[in-house]
Structure formats: C-alpha cells, structure tokens
C-alpha cells in the first residue's frame, strides 16, 4: 500500500544534503540488516554532487561499501569520460573516494552510439542482478531522484514516449528540446522501489514543485507526479527556496 508522500523542507541546501545523507545511511543500514546488501540508484544532474561529497567524507568509514551496489536512474547519451556523464559525476564525487568494488558499480553503457541498444543492455544488467523472472520489476532499496524546472525526473521529460512504458525497465527516450536521446529507468521501476527520495533545491524549481505536490496538473505535464512507490515510501527533501511556491503542503 503506497504511503502518502512525506515533504520535508530544510532551511538551507547544506541542511538538505545532510538530511539526504542521513536517508542514504539509514536505508543502507536497514537493507544490510534485512537483506545483507543495498541496491541504490543514483540521480544525475548537479544537485546530488554535494550529497555525494558529504557521503564520501562523512560515511567513508561507516558504510559497508563492499555490500553496496550502485546503479543510475538515467544517463546522458555520452561516454563515461564526457563532462555531461552522470556516471562520470558520481565517479568523481563519490565512487572513486570510497572503498566500493568496481564490480559493484553498474553504469549505463552510454558510449554505445545506439541509445536503444545501450538501454536494452542496461535492462539486461538489471534483470541479471535482481534475478528477475519475466514481467517482474527490480525492487531497489533506494532510488534518489532530482526534478527539473519543467517537472521532469530521471530522464522522464514532459510529453515524451518513455512516460507510457509499462514493461521495459530501461528505455532510450528522445528529448526534443535537447535534440538527443537520454537513457532512463522507467516508471514501473521507480514505483517498485522500497524508498524514493527526491532532492530539490533552488527557486527555479519552486513553480514545478507546487504543480507536482499541490495541483491536479497531469503527470504528462509534470512527470515527477507519476512517481509513487506502490509498496514503499516517498520522501521529498526540499530546501526553503524550492518550497517558496508551496501554498498547502505542511512541511514537516
Ligand atoms: C539528469 C538527471 C535529471 C536531474 C534534474 C535536476 O540526468 O539531468 O537525472 O533528472 O535530476 O534535471 O537537475 P539539477 O540537479 O541539475 O537541477
């Protein structure tokens, strides 16, 4: 049964990242205790950089990195060495700074010029890691997501075909405004997670956050609205600037 979303407003971006680090550590320790491993999907974009740095400094010696498995919620259609690469950002700000075995990091093979083939390969990687039967979706312990000023999340952009996907785990999604394909986890995967945490910082996100949390605008317009884990928790960590457009939501 999906529990109502929790919206937590933090006064500053620093407090936002500290709260996010706590959620990651809590979810990791909980997963370790119950299942002996922790499977997390990292978010791309710029917001997670400070969270990654915090985890690399404060949790370097306190997390069981050898039992933690890292995936990516989405990827740009670029090689891992490209400055636009979400994997590249995570490697630089977190994965290269903590004792996580390279074999525990599953990046999207986005250097493949054929984005659909890269998506299919990543789909297979997920099916193998989670030992899925046909029709089954992977149950991540934690999925970290961001939100764009247009209400997109991962690479699920307004009005794009990926929003309709019901069976594949990963798809290549053409994003007209960027004239490029993105490779993204699909909504069934996001909504099968045990916990989804959104990190949203900055005034440029305020209008979309209001639409996502407080209006009946469609998920087609604001795809972040379509993220509701069916049997898991949904936590919105937002800073005061991003929350400046909220009218109804009681922040706790
Ligand atoms: C990406 C992300 C994307 C991101 C939002 C917010 O690859 O860009 O996965 O969904 O989370 O665009 O990006 P910022 O954190 O940079 O504002």
The rounded radius of gyration (Å) of the Cα atoms in the chain is 17
Angle at 3 (CA atoms; ends 224, 18), nearest 5 degrees: 65
Nearest to 45 by CA among 146, 167, 115: 146
At 55 the three-state DSSP class reads helix
- Compute the distance between CA of residue 25 and CA of residue 227 in angstroms, rounded to an integer: 22
pLDDT 10s digits, 155-193: 999 999 999 999 999 999 999 999 999 999 999 999 999
- 34 CA from centroid of ligand 1 (Å): 31
The whole-chain average pLDDT of the chain stands at: 96
pLDDT for the residue 225 = 98
Structural tokens at position 23: 């959620």
pLDDT 10s digits, 187-237: 999 999 999 999 999 999 999 999 999 999 999 999 999 999 999 999 999
Mutate to test the pocket of ligand 1, among 43, 75, 110 (most ligand atoms within 8 A of CB): 43
- 20 CA from centroid of ligand 1 (Å): 16
- 36 CA from centroid of ligand 1 (Å): 30
Q: What is the mean pLDDT of residues 81-96?
A: 98
pLDDT for the residue 61 = 84
Q: What is the mean pLDDT of residues 139-159?
A: 98
- 111 CA from centroid of ligand 1 (Å): 19
According to DSSP, residue 235 is labeled E
pLDDT for the residue 158 = 98
Mutate to test the pocket of ligand 1, among 73, 146, 172 (most ligand atoms within 8 A of CB): 146
| Among protein residues, the one whose CA lies closest to atom 11 of ligand 1 | 146
pLDDT 10s digits, 34-68: 999 999 999 999 999 999 999 999 888 889 999 99
- 149 CA from centroid of ligand 1 (Å): 9
**What residue spans of the chain are helical by DSSP H?**
13-35, 48-58, 86-93, 115-129, 187-190, 206-214
Residue 110 pLDDT greater than 90, yes or no: yes
φ, ψ (nearest 5 deg) of residue 71: -125, 180
Residue 104 pLDDT greater than 60, yes or no: yes
Nearest to 189 by CA among 127, 235, 240, 114: 127
**Ligand 1: nearest atom to the Cα of 155:** 10
Cβ < 6 Å from ligand 1: which residues?
A: 43-47, 73-74, 86, 146-148, 152-155
């Amino acid at each position: 049964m999906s529990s109502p979303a929790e919206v937590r407003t933090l006064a500053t971006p620093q407090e936002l990242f500290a709260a996010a680090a706590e959620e990651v550590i809590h979810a990791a320790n909980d997963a370790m205790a119950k299942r002996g491993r922790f499977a997390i999907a990292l978010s791309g974009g710029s917001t997670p950089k400070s969270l990654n740095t915090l985890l690399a400094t404060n949790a370097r010696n306190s997390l069981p990195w050898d039992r933690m498995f890292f995936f990516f919620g989405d990827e740009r259609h670029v090689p891992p060495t490209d400055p636009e690469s979400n994997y590249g950002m995570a490697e630089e700000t977190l994965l290269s700074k903590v004792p996580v075995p390279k074999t525990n990091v599953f990046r999207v093979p986005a250097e493949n010029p054929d984005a659909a083939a890269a998506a299919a390969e990543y789909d297979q990687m997920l099916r193998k890691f989670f030992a899925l039967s046909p029709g089954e979706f992977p149950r991540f312990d934690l999925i970290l997501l961001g939100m764009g000023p247009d209400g997109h999340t991962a690479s699920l952009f307004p009005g794009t075909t990926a929003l309709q996907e019901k069976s594949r785990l990963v798809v290549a999604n053409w994003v007209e405004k960027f004239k490029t394909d993105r490779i993204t986890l699909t909504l069934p995967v996001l909504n099968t997670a045990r916990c989804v945490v959104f990190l949203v910082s900055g005034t440029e996100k305020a209008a979309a956050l209001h639409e996502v949390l407080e209006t009946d605008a469609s998920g087609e317009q604001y795809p972040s609205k379509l993220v509701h884990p069916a049997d898991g928790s949904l936590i919105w960590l937002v800073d005061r600037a991003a929350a400046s457009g909220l009218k109804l939501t009681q922040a706790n």
